[in-house]
Structure 1
Amino acid sequence: MVNLIPLMIERVGVILIVVFLLSQSKTFRQIIHRDQGVKDKVILIAIFGLFGVISNYTGIQIHSNSAAENSWLIGIEPDSAIANTRIMGIAIGSLLGGPIVGLGIGVIAGVHRFFLGGFTAAACAISAVLAGAAAGWFGLSRRKKNVITPAFAVGIGMLMEMTQMGIILLVTRPFDPAWDLVKVIGIPMVAVNGLGMLLFMLIIQYILREQERAKVLQTSKAFYIADRTLPFFRQGLNQESCREVAVIMLQLTDADAIAITDSEGVLAHVGAASDHHVPTKGFSTELTKKVLREGRVLTAKSREEILCRHKPCPLRAAVVLPLMVHNKTVGTLKLYFNNPSDLTEVEKELAEGLANLFSTQLELAEAEQQSKLLKNAEIKALQAQVHPHFLFNAINTISVLCRTNPEKARKLLLELSQFFRSNLQGARQILIPLEKEIEHVKAYLSLEQARFPDKYEVLFEIEQGLEKSHVPPFILQPLVENSIRHAFSRTRIKGEVMVKVYSDEHFLHIEVSDNGKGIPPEKLELLGKEAVESRHGTGTALVNIRERLTGIYNKEALFEIKSRKETGTEIAISIPLEKKGAWDYHDDSIYSR
């Protein structure tokens, strides 16, 4: 029995070498990291079924209770059996793929074991199928809780191996040879397969951790580049700013050349092929034209695909990404490589992330430019008041999450993008759909609640059918922000904010109420009518909202603030339901997109 252990460890080593080589495969890593579809499950069944077959072939033949040295088992004598690592591959594949995958792996490994022969062939085949189904079921229940640990996997592997020993004793006849066999192979197979499960799971965990580290580094790198390029993108798309951005990107990425274009021509090209890829009207590659037309990411892995007309061009690969402003392609970001193998999936994902960030920065730049031209001074003042501190707080929160929870950081970055996109769209319109204003509020809340989890709760009660009703932008979000910032400061109670929207025959009513500390009577009378100095603000947002309501609705809108100390505050807005002539003086710009 003791002599069997080193021979079994050798077999485990063979399987683990195959696993390590397989772990370098991009396809295998993707399957391990994501929820599996039908195709992924079939691949898992094939891979781990093959492990089971290899384990059968590399098993150690046991004859007359002694281990026989062999390198590759083609067949087993009728009175012999084998000690192998079959259960290890079955259990790991089942834990990763679930019961259906486990059953498939078990059938492949079990049928193959049956046809190899030996007096335990039937028992081993049955145990393989049962082990696959059982381990898959255990794995499914644990994966829902995201708690498949190496210790759990080792326990399942040893349990399945002990179950196999029990099935051999129950099924194999005569009983005495089966019992003698189990005494010889039982402890070594349970122990060594448990060790193999541990090493196997450590490799799987390494794959997952490596991908998480890559995501964190990639996100951190993208934020760093975005931070360095922000001052230049704020100047818009021009030759000077784009050249500075391209130089920074060339230094911080593995690309051999960086180019940035607008919709009419190349604004900057730095790095390889600068002799003929020069800032000019028009484009030197057909690939860029195609991205501008279609608004999607395109890659090229050869000079022919890049479609550069200059024959000595050293560029052999490229990823071209659209720069979008308000869902319109205004330019492209291009990363070129001299060696096609340098254009990895990591580089492509980094480029896509940067293109999204740059698009947001361009939208911010455009908003800054448009704000200078806006005739509506109230909206401009409201934007200037609300967002600088919020932006810095949000970026700080996301930068921390990049290290601790990159997936949540990614989602918050999308929410930040949505928040500012809504903000920019609202700055160009007099009225927007209510649902857009609510989206704006929810994007703001997701970012604030990431900073202060469980400090407050915001509830929405929206009458069905009012989502498409038009309201002025920036009337709901400042009210919710006021409740969060002012109502619950220096209090220990959990804050509750209720946003309620309903209608009657003539008006659409918006109410924002909280259970905060309330407003002192001496300030309540002035709020919304004039600025009120305090530690946390001036009340300018409320004045702004009241004045815009008056201007848009010809004094038909109502704005009311009710508050009781230590009880809470309610702000109610009533605006006329849409009707012919209500906003005629604003012309068609009301509904501009």
Structure 2
Amino acid sequence: MLELLPLMLERVGILVILALLLSRMKSFRQVVQNEHSVKGKFLLILIFGAFGIVSNYTGVHIYQDSIMSQTWHFNVDSNNAIANTRIMGVAIGGLLGGPFVGFGVGLIAGLHRLTLGGFTAFACAFSTILAGVVTGFLGKKYGIQKNNSLLRAVIIGILMECIQMGIILIVAKPFDAALHLVQLIAFPMIAINGFGTLIFILIIQNILQEEEKTRALQTNKALFIAQQTLPHFRQGLTTHSSSEVSRIIFRLTNADAISITDHEQVLAHIGAGSNHHKPLQSLSTRLTKKALEQGDIFIANSKEEIQCSHENCPLQAAIVLPLKASNRTVGSLKLYYRDSNKLDIVEQELADGLSKLFSTQLELAEVELQRRLLKDAEIKALQAQVHPHFLFNSINTISSLIRTDSDKARKLLIHLSTFFRNNLQGARQTLVPLEKELEHVEAYLTLEQTRFPNKFTVDFDIEPSLRNAMIPPFTLQPLVENSIRHAFSKEKKLNVVVSAYKNKGKMILLTEDNGKGIPTALLKTIGNETVQSKEGTGTALWNIKKRIEEIYGQKENFQIDSDLGLGTKVYITLPLTEENLEG
């Protein structure tokens, strides 16, 4: 009995080697991952059915007390039997694939065993089919893919082998020969098949763990790429954002080219084929048009499937993914490869994940755009408001001057019309030249100085190169108005200075006065929220800060410094970029 152990171990070794080889094959790993598909089930039946056949052929020949170790057994004498590892392959197939796979594997291995002959042929064939069905149902109920199922799978494998021994005792004739056979082979076959099942399940679980690790790494990579691309896709699907996103994906994936399109044209193409896949050109591949029309993922494994109109295009494989926002396809993301072998399942899953993440980003960009439009409408409504008392006071002042100083009244009317024109234009624009904002301030000051002569002075210190710089409208005028309305002090004449200068590549707008200052309690909240006080509500400062935040995000800086009795300084720092600098 003990001399059978090393021989059985050799047979298990053959199957283990085959299992290790199979575990390196991409197709087998995919089958293990996708055992519920019909194609996967048939492949499992063929693979583990083949394992059963190999086990039958490589079994150890048993004749009474004689053990004959031949390499292959193509037939067994009527008085003989074979000890093999057939049940191990059948049990694993059933546990992995369920009842359908278990029955199929058991049928193949059992019928093959029946054709070899021997006095245990029918008993072994029946027990093999039964083992396949039983392990199939047990596999469906418990599953062997989970880490905590290893001991359970080994116990099931051992139990199936014990059942086979029992069926041999019941079915095989003569009984004395069957009993003698079971006494000789039971322990080695049960022990070795249990050990083989252990090794095989470890291999299967290793495949699953490797896949999980790969998926985790791909998920981390996809999330990292999404994090890098988020600032760009927040701008929407534009040529600039698509170009930046394409560069990031090209750097962080194995693709040989990255392309992003909208419904009409290529927005960006980085990598191979860029000599004819050019931005702002119409779509050149039929595969892309098909993906945009149907909103589905398409994979091409040949140049012919890509259907590029350029004859010498180097791209041989591609995955085209739709980019969606608000349940509609707004564009496509394409990963191209020079070699179709590079487009494996890992790359496909990564691309699919990126497509979903980018679609979410684009949808959020649309939501952000709508929010900005709504906020902009609110801001423009605030910008369009003019204090009624300012209008009435200005008209009254002009009216009183018509008879005494008609020239001055005429000039004031021109300034009043300038003030209102700038108000209306500013309400329709996001940015205006600094020169235009200064004109708005001067028109306001002319009207106020007529009403309050010799009460205040305003000086301007503007760097000439900044006069064409673009700034949000109603940025300086409300600050000057605040100083004049709230900073008056009985002890001294009010002086307001408006400055604009460059500092470290940014534009600084500074409004300062020598007025009475802002109380410390108010200084902590003013500009961050509206407040109720005798001095005012703080709406102007809050409005200015919110508009700057909406336009420039975190690139801006709004700061208020104030000391009681000494005055107040309001600093606004704006980036000097193409967005707000002309000329």
Tell me, what secondary structure is at the counterpart of 2:314?
Answer: coil
Distance 1:135 1:231, change over 3 A: same
What code does the residue aligned with 1:252 have?
Answer: L
Conserved in 2, the CA contact under 8 Å of 1:153 and 1:197?
yes
Other structure's SS at 1:235 match: coil
Q: Distance in 1 between matches of 2:126 and 2:241?
A: 70
What does the per-residue CA deviation read over 1:98-126, in whole Å, with 9 as the maximum and x for residues that have no partner?
33433333232222212211122222222
- Name the residue aligned to 2:369: 369
C-alpha displacement of 1:256: 0.8
**What is the letter of the counterpart of residue 372 of structure 2?**
K
- What residue number does 1:189 align with? 189
Give me the whole-angstrom Cα distance separating, in 2, the residues matched to 1:115 and 1:276. 64
Larger Rg: 2
> Aligned partners of 2:327 and 2:99: how far apart in 1?
44
User: Does residue 125 of the first structure (1) align with residue 132 of the second (2)?
Assistant: no
Residue 59 of structure 1 contacts residue 83 of structure 1 at CA under 8 Å; is this kept in 2?
Answer: yes
Question: Unpaired segments of 5 or more residues in structure 1?
Answer: 380-529, 533-593
1:120-159 aligned at under 5 Å gives the runs: 120-143=120-143, 149-159=149-159
Structure 2 letter corresponding to 1:175:
F
Contact 2:107 2:129 in 1 (8 A): yes
- Counterpart position of 1:318: 318
Matches of 1:13 and 1:378 in 2, distance apart?
77
Whole-angstrom distance in 2 between the partners of 1:352 and 1:329: 15
Q: State the SS of the aligned residue for 1:2.
A: coil
Question: 1:356 aligns to what?
Answer: 356
For residue 360 of structure 1, what is the amino acid of its counterpart? T
Tell me if the contact between 1:57 and 1:73 (Cα under 8 Å) persists in the aligned partners.
yes
Paired residue secondary structure (2:299)? strand
AA aligned opposite 2:229: T
Q: Give the structure 2 partner of residue 493 of structure 1.
A: none
Give the match for residue 22 of structure 2: 22
Deviation at 1:368, TM superposition (A): 1.8
- 2:285 corresponds in structure 1 to 285
Counterparts in 2 of 1:260 and 1:71: CA distance versus 1, 3 Å = same
> 1:76-225 alignment to 2 at 5 Å?
76-143=76-143, 149-225=149-225
CA deviation digits over 1:134-192, x for unaligned, max 9?
32333333239967622111111112212222222233333332232222212111111
Preserved contact between residue 60 and residue 68 of structure 2 (Cα < 8 Å): yes
Shift in CA distance, 98/344, structure 1 to aligned 2, threshold 3 Å: closer
Q: Is the 8 A contact 1:142 1:148 kept in 2?
A: no
Q: Normalising by the residue count of structure 1, what TM-score does the alignment of the two structures yield?
A: 0.60
Instruction: Give the letter for the 1:123 counterpart.
Output: A
Q: Any residues of structure 2 matched to 1:287-302 within 5 Å, and which?
A: 287-302=287-302
- CA, structure 1 residues 96+307, in 2 after alignment: closer, same or farther (shift >3 Å)? closer
Q: Write the distance in 2 (CA, Å) between the matches of 1:108 and 1:284.
A: 52
Q: Which moved more, 1:173-182 or 1:270-279?
A: 173-182
Q: Deviations over 1:458-497 (max 9, x none)?
A: xxxxxxxxxxxxxxxxxxxxxxxxxxxxxxxxxxxxxxxx
1:372 Cα offset (Å):
2.2
Deviation at 1:373, TM superposition (A): 1.9
Report how far residue 132 of structure 1 moved: 2.2
Change (3 A) 1:16 1:312: same
User: Structure 2 vs 1, CA of residues 51 and 148 (structure 1 numbering), >3 Å: closer, same or farther?
Assistant: farther
Aligned to 2:247: 247
Shift of residue 27 of structure 1? 4.6
Q: How far 1:322 moved relative to its partner?
A: 1.5
Q: Residue 161 of structure 2 contacts residue 190 of structure 2 at CA under 8 Å; is this kept in 1?
A: yes
1:35 shift after superposition: 5.8
Shift of residue 97 of structure 1? 2.7
SS at match of 2:362: helix
Tell me if the contact between 1:77 and 1:118 (Cα under 8 Å) persists in the aligned partners.
yes
**1:215-253 C-alpha deviation (Å, 9 max, x unpaired):** 111111110000001111112222222211111111100
1:50 shift after superposition: 2.4
Q: Is 1:228 matched up with 2:228?
A: yes
Q: Which runs of 5+ in 2 are unaligned?
A: 380-528, 532-583
Residues 96 and 236 of structure 1: CA distance in aligned 2, closer, same or farther (over 3 Å): same
CA distance in 2, matches of 1:9, 1:531: 83
Over 3 Å counting, the alpha-carbon distance change for 1:355 and 1:102 in structure 2 is closer
Number of the residue aligned with 2:71? 71
Single out whichever of 5-14 and 190-199 deviates more from structure 2.
Answer: 5-14
Q: SS of the counterpart of 1:263? A: coil
Letter in 1 for 2:59: G
State the alpha-carbon separation in 2 of the partners of residues 216 and 348 from structure 1: 14
Aligned partner of residue 281 in structure 1, secondary structure: coil
SS at match of 1:267: strand
Between stretches 161-170 and 351-360, larger displacement belongs to: 161-170
What is the CA-CA distance between 1:196 and the residue it aligns to? 0.5
RMSD: 2.7
Q: Which whole-Å CA distance do the structure 2 matches of 1:5 and 1:263 have between them? A: 69
Identity of aligned residues (%): 55
Letter in 2 for 1:318: A
Between the aligned partners of 1:98 and 1:242, the Cα distance in structure 2 is: 47
Q: Alpha-carbon deviations, 1:19-73, whole Å to 9, x = none? A: 2333344454344334625554444333322222221111110123121121111
User: SS at the partner of 1:151?
Assistant: helix
> Given the superposition, is the C-alpha separation of residues 368 and 52 from structure 1 closer, same or farther in structure 2, using an over 3 Å criterion?
same
Tell me if structure 2 keeps the 8 A contact 1:250–1:258.
Answer: yes
Matched with 1:53 is: 53
Q: Distance in 1 between matches of 2:310 and 2:39?
A: 43
Instruction: Give the superposition deviation at 1:286.
Output: 2.9
Q: Give the letter aligned to residue 216 of structure 2.
A: V
Given the superposition, is the C-alpha separation of residues 312 and 110 from structure 1 closer, same or farther in structure 2, using an over 3 Å criterion? closer
